[in-house]
Structure 1
Amino acid sequence: MMNNISTISVFFLSGINEMRNYRPTLFFFTLMCYCLIILVNMFLIVMIILDNTLHEPMYIMLCAFCMNSLYGTTGFYPKFLWDLLSPVHVISYSGCLFQALVMYSFACCELSILALMAYDRYLAICRPLEYHTVMTKHRVVKLVCIFWLTPVCINAVSAALTSRLKLCSSFLNRVFCANWSIVALACFPADITVNSIVSYLIILIYVLHAVFIVWSYMYLIKTCLSSIENRAKFMQTCVPHLVSLFTFIVILLIDLMSMRFGFGDLPQTVQNFIAIEFLIIPPMMNPLIYGFKLTKLRRKILYFTIFKVK
């Protein structure tokens, strides 16, 4: 048994072992999925950056949303694709902590941007006279930067706390590194009190984000019921946010429950899909939802692709 952290330089990702019989097929579909994620997100990012008519708060936030998707998926797909081709599935200790940092900060930033989108829609529909004063382009850019740097910093603290633990195993039963999975390898009796406090604090912060989003949309729905014009605005601009929010939160809750409580009775393949679904469905689905639901963006897409609608 390993009883000192200095003896562990790499982690073995044993969750991939169950995929050995169909790795070529999985590699092909994973590569196609990653290429599609890059394509749809980059397409929207470039379109929004190059078109001055899309330099509005809503589209700036959508651009940040797509950038965050590329950030999170880049932390997973290249390594996963390499592991599918490699006979040995290892990752360095520092690389594992870094990957965990990217995964967690990606998820937290996703929720932060959704909260900012909810606030933007609240102002646009419920307080339209104040909207252009409060939600200026420069302020939105600053808020997006803050909302991305904050989860990176707080999850870096969590990763630093994890790095101080003595570990007694180097086997992670996952396809990628997650902070709490590393903490679970700590030698008994290990003092993980501070790790738990920081972890629950991070969860609390982003649960409050979710509560704010739910309250915002409940207030929006109540406001929009009394006005046909506001109802149309809500259906056009808020429905994509709600679909993204619902999908992301459900997927994230399932993944958190699997890490905290374990789904040991499920086949390893199912556990692997549960672990990575938040890196497949939202990054691929969100650009498509927003691209075809938001009228101005849909017209731009059609203009650049097929119909050249002006």
Structure 2
Amino acid sequence: MRSNNSLNPSYFSFALFSDYGSLRSLFFSLCLLIYMTIISANVVIILTVCLDKSLHQPMYIFICCLCLNSLYGSAGFFPRFLMDILSDTHFISRPFCFVQMYIVHTYAGNELTLLTVMAYDRLIAICQPLYYYSKMTLRLVMQLLIFAVLYPICFLGYFFYLSTTLTFCGNKLQRIFCTNWSVVQLSCEDTTVNNITGQFVALASIFAPLFFVLYTYLQIVIICRKSSSEFRGKALQTCLPHVLTIVNFCISVICELSLSRYNADEVNPLIIALLSLEFLIIPPISNPLVYGLSLPQIRGVIFKFVKIQ
């Protein structure tokens, strides 16, 4: 009989990492530069919104929280990833694997709910401008932010709990970080409940918010069609960064979900690595750049601060 340890290993191994040889330092430096860029770009937006009183408005508060979430998700991936690049072994303890899984998945869930809340904010600002400040009070903003954080946790918490109770027959993960599906695939048990729960979680935490975003923009388009060209120009200016962020994040989510639909042995490891990195690198870098460069209010404050220095 196999021992209990072989049936339920206390650690997992990332099988996609390989020996980079002389290129190891180059890859490490490149990834460290990307991580530092993510931190710097998001911190600039956060400090800009926090320090300038003219930006203490709902839209900019939501942008600030979006950047905070990018820092949260990056912190759950990059430190460990940088260690793995330099290491000859790529083992991760079972508890830390589930912690990383929780951070990465809640980062994605928070990102989508924050973008949904921002869509509601744009809906009120464009369709009901006279009632905007009476509706989007500080209290409502805080309630929406709490909702954006708790909504994905409520669904993902039970989902991850089911995964932690499984018994595993293997420990090789065909990924460069821990994901729920890659871990569940190693289970010796029937995972039907996990699969059904996963479909429900995907419906509630991904597709439901996206349908609401589509609804808000349908209402905005209807209002814009009935309005003047000047009004449409202002609406486009405020909505374009959000639309770009939504499209970019949806592409990232599609890439990530597509990985769970195929057997890892049938996909080129480089493609798996690139799609995984796209999910965790592109949105955290593009969000501060899109909002920092597209919104004149934020761009003006940043340029003013740079000139003062």
Sort the TM-score into its range (normalised by shorter chain). Answer: over 0.9
CA distance in 2, matches of 1:200, 1:133: 38
2:195 equivalent in structure 1: 196
Matched length: 305
1:101 equivalent in structure 2: 102
Q: Amino acid of the residue matched to residue 277 of structure 1?
A: E
1:16 equivalent in structure 2: 17
Q: Which 5+ residue runs of structure 1 have no aligned equivalent?
A: none
1:207 equivalent in structure 2: 207
**Inter-CA distance 3–135: structure 2 relative to 1 (3 Å threshold):** farther
1:219 equivalent in structure 2: 219
Please, what TM-score do these two structures have when normalized by structure 1?
A: 0.93
Q: Amino acid of the residue matched to residue 9 of structure 2?
A: I
1:32 equivalent in structure 2: 33
Per mean C-alpha deviation after superposition, the further-off stretch among 190-199 and 291-300 is 190-199
2:293 equivalent in structure 1: 292
Q: Amino acid of the residue matched to residue 248 of structure 1?
A: F
- 1:250, distance to aligned residue in structure 2 (A): 1.2
1:74 equivalent in structure 2: 75
CA distance in 2, matches of 1:128, 1:194: 46
CA distance in 2, matches of 1:18, 1:270: 17
Give matches, 1:291-310, under 5 Å. 291-306=292-307
- 1:200, distance to aligned residue in structure 2 (A): 1.1
Q: Amino acid of the residue matched to residue 197 of structure 1?
A: I
- Conserved in 2, the CA contact under 8 Å of 1:236 and 1:295? no
- Conserved in 2, the CA contact under 8 Å of 1:30 and 1:81? yes
Please, what TM-score do these two structures have when normalized by structure 2?
A: 0.93
Q: Amino acid of the residue matched to residue 218 of structure 1?
A: L
Give matches, 1:1-310, under 5 Å. 4=4, 7-17=8-18, 19=20, 22-187=23-188, 190-205=189-204, 206-226=206-226, 227-262=228-263, 264-306=265-307
Per mean C-alpha deviation after superposition, the further-off stretch among 161-170 and 195-204 is 195-204
**Inter-CA distance 217–20: structure 2 relative to 1 (3 Å threshold):** farther
CA distance in 2, matches of 1:20, 1:230: 58
Per mean C-alpha deviation after superposition, the further-off stretch among 146-155 and 200-209 is 146-155
- Conserved in 2, the CA contact under 8 Å of 1:100 and 1:177? yes
User: What secondary structure sits across from 2:261 in the alignment?
Assistant: helix
Q: Amino acid of the residue matched to residue 11 of structure 2?
A: V
Q: Which 5+ residue runs of structure 2 have no aligned equivalent?
A: none
Q: Which of structure 1's runs of 4+ aligned residues deviate more than 3 A?
A: 1-7, 18-21, 262-266
- Conserved in 1, the CA contact under 8 Å of 2:292 and 2:299? yes
- Conserved in 1, the CA contact under 8 Å of 2:46 and 2:67? yes
- Identity, in percent, stands at 37
